[in-house]
Amino acid sequence: MKMDLRPADAVSRRDAWREKREAALQRQGSPLGGGVLYLQHVTVSFDGFKALDDLTLHVDPGELLCVIGPNGAGKTTMMDVITGKTRPDEGTVWFGNQINLLALSEPEIVQVGIGRKFQKPTVFDFLTVFENLELALAGDKSFWHTFAARLTRADRERIDAVLETTGLEAKRDAPAGALAHGQKQWLEIGMLLMQEPKLLLVDEPVAGMTPQETERTGELLLSLAGRHSVVVVEHDMEFVRSIANRVAVLHEGRVLAEGSMDDVQEDPRVIEVYLGA
Ligand code: ADP
Ligand code: MG
């Protein structure tokens, strides 16, 4: 058989393929907008109880979105769905226009650029701040491999940049175990930054922090927005007010209200279920 792949054929084949792909994306519900994350009609049931109930929410590029809501509203479940820990019964979850997160494993979701900070720090106490960042740089490479390999100049510069962002320059050679609670949390955020995530998910970042640490954490999260999209789940209303641009209020597994902090605080439904409580 004669292979006759003239450029015109190649182009038309590529166009046909692109059309097919876009049609497939449409069918699967990809929003094809300019956003970073789209949850659409997501439902998660635990023994018939809906922790998420037809939840629809999006995150824009570079924005800092605060998600608030009473205990049991579904905030942590939402994070679990985005990171692949929990699979929804219904709905779609897209990362940008191309990546269907429901088709990916947890490690794959980290690979495509989603970092999650849990409340409990997972830093290595016996390593220095610098070494913890070095380890985070390696990602899934083994521990010993990391320390056997020499850092490139670019690696060092990246670690230095993260030390500066997190305000930990002076603690660079201190063992992580010697850090104050707030500093440990910032190191943990720094470790996530080493992987240069497009989207950062942060669950209750200021729990247990002093007022000073809380303020510094707000500054840090604000400084990350723009270069990263950041979703912060938080109970501390004062803190949310100090950093929030857009706020989504979750209640019974769905978005009850969305807008500026002033808008949602004035919303009678929000006052009833949350702020007035
Ligand atoms: P939030 O983080 O907003 O406090 P969660 O997402 O942790 O809320 O929980 C939402 C609801 O789902 C709660 O009623 C909780 O008890 C329930 N829930 C969460 N995880 C599970 C689970 N693994 N099994 C059963 N119920 C769960
Ligand atoms: Mg929670």
Q: How far is the CA of 134 from the centre of ligand 2 (A)?
A: 30
Ligand 1 centroid–CA 72 distance in Å is 5
Domain segments of the chain: what residues?
61-79+105-275
To test the ligand 1 pocket, which listed residue (77, 85, 86) has its Cβ within 8 A of the most ligand atoms?
Answer: 77
Quote the Cα angle for 77-93-140, to 5°.
75
**What is the position in ligand 1's atom list of the atom closest to the CA of 79?**
6
User: What is the percentage of the chain residues whose pLDDT exceeds 90?
Assistant: 67
Q: Please state the pTM of the whole predicted model.
A: 0.85
Cα–Cα distance list, 235 to 203, 232, 263, 276 (Å): 10, 10, 17, 14
- Ranking 7-11, 80-84, 111-115, 122-126 by mean pLDDT, the lowest is 7-11
pLDDT at 1 over 50: no
Query: Hunting for tokens 């660079």 — which residue is that?
Result: 172
Which CATH number describes the domain made up of 61-79+105-275?
3.40.50.300
pLDDT at 9 over 60: yes
Q: Is the dihedral of CA 185, 200, 66, 78 positive or negative?
A: negative
**Ligand 1 centroid – CA 254 distance (Å):** 13
| Closest of 235, 179, 226 to residue 206, by C-alpha | 235
pLDDT (0 to 100) of residue 141: 56
pLDDT, tens only, 179-202: 999 999 999 999 999 989 999 999
User: Could you report the per-residue pLDDT of 122-161, keeping only the tens digit for each?
Assistant: 899 999 999 999 989 876 555 656 666 678 889 999 999 9
The pLDDT of residue 21: 58
φ and ψ at residue 163, rounded to 5 degrees: -60, -40
Of residues 137 and 16, more confidence is placed in 137
Q: What percent of the chain has pLDDT over 70?
A: 83
Atom of ligand 1 nearest to the CA of 77: 6
